[in-house]
Structure 1
Amino acid sequence: MGRKKKRYVEDHIFRIYPDYPLLVLDKIAWAKAGANDPLHFHYYLEIGYCYEGQGTIISEGEEAAFCQGSISLVAPNLLHATRNENGMYNMWGYLFVDLEDFVKLFSFIDERMHMKICRQLFYGVRILDERKYEQLTFLLKQIFRTAGEKKGTYKMQVMSLLCSFLFMLYDVLEHRVEEEAVSLPLLPAIDYIYDHYMEQIKVGQLADMCHFSESHFRKVFQKMKGLGPVDYINCIRVREACRMLQNTMEPIRIVGEKCGYLSISSFERNFKKRMGVLPAKWREERRLYRKKERGEYEIKQILVEERTGDGEENHF
């Protein structure tokens, strides 16, 4: 009997931090994406810009075609994969945005607007044509350029540009004629999961909110999100657990309880399934990583100060 193949690959949450809740990857190129590459998902909103190439982005149950100049939007926790046409060369720029943390950094974004933005950006795969949305394209390219140059207050500039981009994107999606309504029946359930992940949630309860039978709800949810409702709930719980493990000294047991797990064994099992290691090990790895990162930063600062000092002596 052969080994069961993994159906998806997860993107680790620790690559994005609350004070700068986005990851910028520009000019990512590949020559071929095989038809059998596994579907994967990210905990974040994925925004892409196709510099070269064409193909499709697939998620379970649907496909969205892209070409040079396409802007792609992929919802968090959605199984998907990029398929290049005939194995041709592709080049992309990507933003991965932790929208929850991003919104918290801007006090003028109230809770109502926060919910509206999330409702538009947290569902499905969308493709926009740069020729129709020149301002969006300009902002996106400016984000890549500013993040790549890393000059001065570049992080604040990137955050401001992204804020403008997301508000403009929201307006575009609100007024598109071809607005996708396929995920709308799931909105009550999705909103409830995000607000009550720390509580015990029954699938039948979510089905009732959407006026579906439980069996039909499971089928629709799997088709629309690429994950079953229980797996989706666990994704949200593990994401929040990672945030707490990284930013607090709460005991592992307490973190698990606050994220909705009734026992530490259940928490550890689900956490390891998604992150590859137990919570305690993950926390320790994060600590060592950040310690190393701080050390590298301090070394760079010393080198900069030494260069500045040498320059001043030579000048005078």
Structure 2
Amino acid sequence: MLAMSSLAANVAATGTRQRSPESLRYYQSAVSMLRQRLADDAQRSGDAVIITLSNLCGFEAMSGNYDAVDMHTQGIRHVVNLRGGFDSLGFEGFLRTISVAWQTFYASRHSVWARVKSLIPKDGNFAYPEHPFDPGLCNIIAKFRPGLTDLALSGGLSHQMIVLISEIDNWERDIKNSLQQSDAYDLHGLSQNSRYVTLCGEFLHQPTLTLVEQLLILGMLGFCYSTDHTRATFWLSNAFLQLHCRYLNSVVIQVTERNAEFMTWVASVLAATFDPGSQPWALAFSLLKARPSQQDWRGNVNVSENFFWNESMSLRLSSKIGYLRQQDPQGQG
């Protein structure tokens, strides 16, 4: 936990995933204690081992060392098997939740890994199209919602980011078609929610993303969360998003007439998705307040419908209007 806290503080302060000497020292202490427990027959399958492995997974995931995440996740799986399955774990379901979450993360990451390698350049340098755009790229952009079309045509998004938008856009259409053909409102079963949350997360970890692209990823993540009634992917990635938004809260974000609709959508997604008082909520409120002209929540929803948006997000946003009014009686209610 101390290693995670130290690393988290560094991420929040710098926006990078660089490990500090302090966090490494705590990490090594945790590994040493884990080895002692694993050497003891009475402790090797205990709750403390699962908790330690889970924290080590979190530390490695936050710092981008996924090979180590895989190793610790396999350790969790082994301990769970020794205990007789997920339902045999303690802490009133807490250990079951985190164990399932890391197994889900493992499966999701490996399912998208080939796509990640094809989308994200090894050197981290994304390719930005210049006008006139390639006809094939224009055909992709033409299918987007109006707000996303304008954003893509601005030249501020990389070719890879445009492809990611296209994949999520196609996925959204598949969801709508599935719902029209079925009475069962089970979006988690119908969608590849975990896959796209993981893919967006991989993009967000890239240090070369522009500020606009980082905000775009946050908006798309919020949309992906809204389609998952289990909230499994949300709870697994929430900690990193809190830290990233804390970092974004420390930088200057210019909100102008030109980008006001995009910023309104990002802010509305964050407000709908996260709890009042959280770092994403603070970022949402600052973006809304910085707009040249204010509008009520219904106006925000109308704007957001030009991007990725659905009815569940409207309902969540409307349930928080009271909090927005308390913070800004004149602007957001």
Give the TM-score range, shorter chain. under 0.3
| Larger strand proportion of the pair | 1
| Larger helix proportion of the pair | 2
Length-normalised TM-score, structure 2: 0.25
